[in-house]
């Protein structure tokens, strides 16, 4: 794991966008594994800005997303498909046919998971996987568990995650309780991983992810076993690591 310090959210976003844009420049037909949530929004804004300036070309790039709420259609404004469309895809020249996300309305849960795993395999795997980290250490929607889930699966979201996500919904009742998520094996199969973290709320999860024992109760800890993980975190997200004297 290589840990890069960023001053604040904007600095983290710019640095992360630099890593993604370098990947796309060096390998225009990259398969990018993308994430939703508040953390990557600034990164996507920066990529859009550089695209508009003519610095990046996404015409050959493919994108597979980490997760999607179960029960929401891709036209639902709370869906992650909608998030990706409005926060990134419709502002750049990626071919929408080359963008993939689990189908929240799939009738057969198991078939949908199998389909998504096969799709990623058929694309040749993920070149660069962007990840956020949950306050409980989840990656994608791989929630704390007694074991690591390997493939794409449907997960019951924890109360902590539902609570965190409720800020995007009008009421608690509307927050989906289940989601599809890429599994740990798929995430670990990415050639490179870029994890971004901002804010004090993430500081403990980040400390555990980098220095904690590897355990499914803090899913992010598995990343310690991946050979190519870059972490870009701002000073607040690094605060616990700093308090413990592990970073000056």
**Which parts of this chain interact with ligand PGA (CB under 6 A)?**
37-39, 132-134
Instruction: Output the smallest distance, CB 203 to ligand PGA, in A.
Output: 12
Going by C-alpha positions, the residue among 201, 203, 237 that lies closest to residue 11 is: 237
CB atoms within 10 A of CB 105: 14
CB atoms within 10 A of CB 123: 16
**Torsion angle in degrees (nearest 10) through CA of 34, 186, 61, 26:** 100
Going by C-alpha positions, the residue among 86, 87, 30, 83 that lies closest to residue 56 is: 30
Going by C-alpha positions, the residue among 165, 164, 161, 141 that lies closest to residue 153 is: 141
Nearest residue relative to ligand PGA (C-beta)? 37
Instruction: Output the smallest distance, CB 200 to ligand PGA, in A.
Output: 12
Residue 63 near residue 98, CB atoms below 8 Å: yes
Instruction: Output the smallest distance, CB 136 to ligand PGA, in A.
Output: 9
Instruction: Output the smallest distance, CB 27 to ligand PGA, in A.
Output: 25
244 beta partners: none
| Identity of the residue, 82 or 115, whose beta carbon is nearer to ligand PGA in the bound complex | 82
| Catalytically annotated residue among 67, 127, 235, 236 | 67
* Sequential DSSP letters for 10-35: HHHHHHHHHHHHHHHHH-TT-EEEE-
Instruction: Output the smallest distance, CB 132 to ligand PGA, in A.
Output: 3
Annotated catalytic residue 228: no
| Identity of the residue, 111 or 174, whose beta carbon is nearer to ligand PGA in the bound complex | 174
| Catalytically annotated residue among 112, 117, 127, 143 | 143
| Identity of the residue, 3 or 60, whose beta carbon is nearer to ligand PGA in the bound complex | 3
Annotated catalytic residue 143: yes
| Identity of the residue, 8 or 110, whose beta carbon is nearer to ligand PGA in the bound complex | 8
| Identity of the residue, 39 or 192, whose beta carbon is nearer to ligand PGA in the bound complex | 39
Residues noted as catalytic: 67, 136, 138, 143
């Amino acid at each position: 794991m290589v840990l890069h310090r960023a001053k604040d959210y904007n600095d983290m976003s710019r640095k992360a966008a630099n890593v993604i844009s370098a990947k796309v420049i060096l390998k225009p037909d990259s398969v990018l594994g993308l994430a939703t949530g508040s953390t990557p929004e600034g990164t996507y804004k920066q990529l859009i800005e550089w695209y508009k300036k003519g610095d990046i070309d996404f015409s050959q790039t493919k994108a597979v997303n980490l997760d999607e709420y179960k029960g929401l259609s891709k036209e639902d404004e709370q869906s992650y498909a909608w998030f990706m469309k409005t926060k990134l895809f419709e502002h750049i020249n990626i071919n929408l046919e080359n963008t993939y996300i689990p189908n929240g309305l799939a009738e057969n849960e198991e078939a949908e998971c199998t389909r998504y795993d096969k799709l990623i395999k058929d694309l040749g795997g993920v070149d660069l996987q962007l990840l956020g980290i949950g306050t409980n250490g989840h990656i994608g929607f791989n929630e704390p568990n007694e074991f690591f889930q390997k493939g794409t699966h449907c997960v019951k979201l924890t109360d902590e995650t539902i609570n965190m996500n409720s800020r995007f919904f009008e009421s608690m009742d509307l927050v989906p309780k289940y989601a599809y998520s890429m599994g740990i094996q798929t995430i670990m199969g990415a050639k490179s991983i870029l994890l971004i973290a901002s804010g004090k709320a993430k500081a403990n999860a980040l400390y555990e992810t980098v220095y904690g024992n590897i355990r499914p109760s803090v899913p992010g800890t598995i990343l310690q076993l991946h050979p190519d993980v870059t972490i870009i975190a701002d000073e607040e997200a690094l605060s616990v690591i700093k308090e413990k004297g592990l970073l000056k």
